[in-house]
Structure 1
Amino acid sequence: MGGTRDEVDRRRAFVGLLAQPVLDRRRDPELFGLVRHPGHRPELSHWFSSRLGYRLVVTDTGARLFRLPLGDTVIAPRRVELPPRRALVLALLAAAAAEDAEDITTTQDLSDRVRVLTGRDDAGLTAYDPDRFAERKLFAAAVKLLLSTGALAPADTGGDEQRDGWARRVDKIGGTYEVRREMLLRMIDPAAFAAALGTRGPAITEGAERFSVMRRILELPVCLYGDLTEAQRAYLIRQRSRIVAWCTEMTGWVVEQRAEGLALIAADEADTDLPFPRLRAIDFVSLMVLDELYRRRDDTDTVSEADLTAAVTEVSVRHPKSITAEIVSDTARRERALELLRALDLIRPGSGPDRWQLTPIAARYRDPRVVAMTARLEDAP
């Protein structure tokens, strides 16, 4: 990542905010310092607002990047491992409970408050039952989500054991937290929340094509011409040189231009949310499954569900040492591999039933060279 020290620091701040849109001054002092630096902050705000249509809010204690929707659509990376829906609901309820809690609260206090909230006649939700272990486990996951947003901050030293053990110990209060009200109120942007619920927001007309194209290049594995509307495609073709220059200015990375579209290639795999392939079993299996599917594709780069099943089985026969306990069954291998390949946008649901479509970027991974390693393939995420 070349450039002056200020250019490098601004790029670190920009990329850091894309990867971590919630920054806490105490938890993320270095990155927060780069974002709040008087020489970087105005430029970052301009980049996000004029080129992506995002909103950056920076205060004395934190920073929050809001990925505002275009209508009812949010273009953002596909998450491989989504929290259970129930955990997300409980996190929202715990956030509402935290707003009325004392400045210092506990897992048990929030749990009690959420139980009261869901017990109301007008709640419209399945009542939260903390006497069930499954519910307590989901609530513990919900509290971790609030910790990740900066809405709560650990107020106890060495409290990991207390927090993690609360689900199994009904006689414990769990972790102790400071309620960070400023971050709590900025946890959800109303427009983004409405879009998540499928409620169309006000139409964005000025800059809509620019925002859509830039978001696809920066947020997704690849920006394919075939995924763009006619207006978006025309904008990209007309402004390609400027777009490439913007991406280089903001990230320092290289934009790879192909006949099918554009891809922004990170300088280091640590800069991407989903490096592939990593030295772990599921990445190896997914890569081999993709290669097998590429061989079986038809003239339209389509494969059938039968092809997918056969590819999963073939990999286990050819590379039995790559099969770990977590993916020992054909079903587990298929689900995990498909989940990862879809997140990487290498495969998509096809136009017909039981059909899968390989995207043009799948060709980048064809005929992989398998090298024997002494290191053990791990299943760690």
Structure 2
Amino acid sequence: MRARSIAPLEAESYQRAARLILSRHLVTASYPDRSALPLLRRWATELREDLLELFGFRLEVTETTARLFTVVDRLDPDSGTRTATDRPFDRRRYAYLALVLAALGRAGAQISLSELAEYVVAESSRVEGVEFAPSRGTDRDAFVDVVGWLTMRGAITVADGDAGGWARDPAIGEALYDIDRAVVTALFRPPQALQHIDSVRALLAPVSAGGTQEVARRMRRALVQRPVVYAEELDDEEAVQLALPRTAADVALLTGLVVERRAEGVALVGPSGRLSDVRFPGTGTVAQVALLLAGEICDRVLDADAPEPVRVPLPMDTRADLVAAVDAALPRSSMFTGLRSSDDTAGEPVAEVPSEREPRPVPEHPLVEDAWLAETVSGLVDTYGRTFASQWQADPGALTQAAIGVLAGQRLVARVPGGVLALPALARFRGVTVSVRRRDPHLELFPRDREATATAGTATVASSQTDSSETEKC
């Protein structure tokens, strides 16, 4: 491992480069900033060897791009592409993204937004289930989100005009873009021709390949791709590899993160938050309510005076349902049936070999009912509602679901019928405290009255267990 030979004074720079490429996967001359690519080019040789050895990832670095080709072991419903306003891409946006990349790959040095839209209109009509009508505002918004995502990464650069004007009125607005073909090429490099596969499982790493070394790589990939790796979700061989101190220590040495190991599993924690795709604890109403709700759930589970909560095991892995849903959306009409390939073993559990060892006990987790969650969030709205965004004040039900979504995405709770299960990592966020910053009435230009002004403010939520650290996932 090359990280062990890095001089101590340069270790932080190397670890910063590792965190950068693990979190971004694509780095260009302008994305995420102009200092990123020179940093990666400096450590390209060392990173290339370490990323391949530890994770099986392949790093390609050129003069204008750095691209990390990762290995996916399972589908994750909480990962994916997001818009500039942090909204997840839906099926329409992903379809437009694929069509826009195809258009950019065939275009010259420049292309106008209207020409790009015309291409997507023509090509979408040939794909089953995809449609693009510039006359519809929702379609235009989705198309502009895709163009903005590509602009942010440097695949295209605005030479003239404004995409916002076109989104408001295509008959009046227009924009001209310069195309960076190297970035376009780096963005879309699937491991195999997508027209030749009939299931998304073919894009997942085979579970049964590689022996002990590949199991260790799979566990290291899990450490940087999941917020928490719980031992109960692993088979015996994976659990043994995760328990070995070196498995997590090698990842910590590469990234500079802190290993937090418990009997229930392992997490990598980074106070800087430079590897997280979701900051938690974070700012904003939903993140703050999620942290408050985490503290309330901990208090409910630990309350000796309250009835003992029902304890149930984690439900069986439902990712087979996710695979089936993705496969159901594949455009069969564009598939080359003569060259079709299907990997039925990729990403699927292999048949268990009878073992003489005692089966591991199945942990059970406290169940927190939906009614209690709704009542608790309503109480938080009553107490701190003045500091919440207006849209959430008016809809506590939606706020409850959004806060639970944040906790579930960080693997602090698990959704089950009737409520959520409190998972072990949730205990990191017990002891939540709240402080409300008061506005100084003398700083307001038109104070209404002193009492009303004094009660307005912004809630700041903190946990005595977190110290602003974050569970890492890229």
Q: Which amino acid letter does the alignment assign opposite residue 319 of structure 1?
A: Y
Aligned partner (choices 186, 199, 202) of residue 201 of structure 2: 199
Aligned partner (choices 57, 61, 84) of residue 64 of structure 2: 61
Aligned partner (choices 401, 413, 433) of residue 347 of structure 1: 413
- 1:17-36 aligned at under 5 Å gives the runs 17-27=21-31, 28-36=33-41
For the residue of structure 1 that corresponds to 2:168, the secondary structure is coil
- What residue ranges of structure 2 are gaps of 5+ in the alignment? 1-5, 81-85, 302-308, 312-364, 440-456, 461-474
* Cα displacement string for residues 83-138 of structure 1 (whole angstroms, at most 9, x for unaligned residues): 22211111111111122222101221110111111233xx2133211111121111
**1:102 and 2:108 correspond:** yes
Task: Return the offset for 1:364.
Answer: 1.2
Partner of 2:467: none
Q: Distance in 2 between matches of 1:29 and 1:65?
A: 18
| Distance of aligned partners of 1:271 and 1:196 in 2 relative to their CA distance in 1, 3 Å threshold | farther
**1:129 and 2:133 correspond:** yes
Partner of 2:371: 306
| Distance of aligned partners of 1:52 and 1:307 in 2 relative to their CA distance in 1, 3 Å threshold | same
**1:331 and 2:397 correspond:** yes
Task: Return the offset for 1:185.
Answer: 2.2
Q: Which amino acid letter does the alignment assign opposite residue 303 of structure 1?
A: V
* Cα displacement string for residues 133-171 of structure 1 (whole angstroms, at most 9, x for unaligned residues): 121111101112222444323334xx5xx1222211222
Aligned partner (choices 285, 297, 300) of residue 281 of structure 1: 285
| Distance of aligned partners of 1:76 and 1:5 in 2 relative to their CA distance in 1, 3 Å threshold | farther
Q: Distance in 1 between matches of 2:254 and 2:17?
A: 9
Q: Distance in 2 between matches of 1:255 and 1:192?
A: 35
Q: Distance in 2 between matches of 1:374 and 1:113?
A: 54
**1:90 and 2:96 correspond:** yes
Partner of 1:224: 230
Q: Distance in 1 between matches of 2:385 and 2:34?
A: 46
Contact 2:434 2:459 in 1 (8 A): no
TM normalised by structure 2 equals 0.70
Instruction: Output the aligned Cα RMSD.
Output: 2.7
Dislocated runs of 4+, deviation >4 Å: 74-77, 192-197
Q: Distance in 2 between matches of 1:211 and 1:305?
A: 38
Task: Return the offset for 1:266.
Answer: 0.6
Q: Distance in 1 between matches of 2:459 and 2:136?
A: 33
Larger radius of gyration: 2
Partner of 1:188: 188
Aligned partner (choices 245, 249, 252) of residue 248 of structure 1: 252
For the residue of structure 1 that corresponds to 2:157, the secondary structure is strand
* Cα displacement string for residues 17-50 of structure 1 (whole angstroms, at most 9, x for unaligned residues): 122211112444311111112xx21211122111
Q: Once the two structures are aligned, what percentage of the paired residues are identical?
A: 23
Q: Which amino acid letter does the alignment assign opposite residue 134 of structure 2?
A: P
Partner of 1:140: 144
For the residue of structure 2 that corresponds to 1:154, the secondary structure is strand
Contact 2:258 2:270 in 1 (8 A): yes
Q: Distance in 1 between matches of 2:407 and 2:263?
A: 22
Moved more, 366-375 or 135-144: 366-375
Count of residue pairs the alignment pairs up = 364
Q: Distance in 1 between matches of 2:109 and 2:65?
A: 18
Aligned partner (choices 371, 375, 380) of residue 315 of structure 1: 380
Partner of 2:178: 178
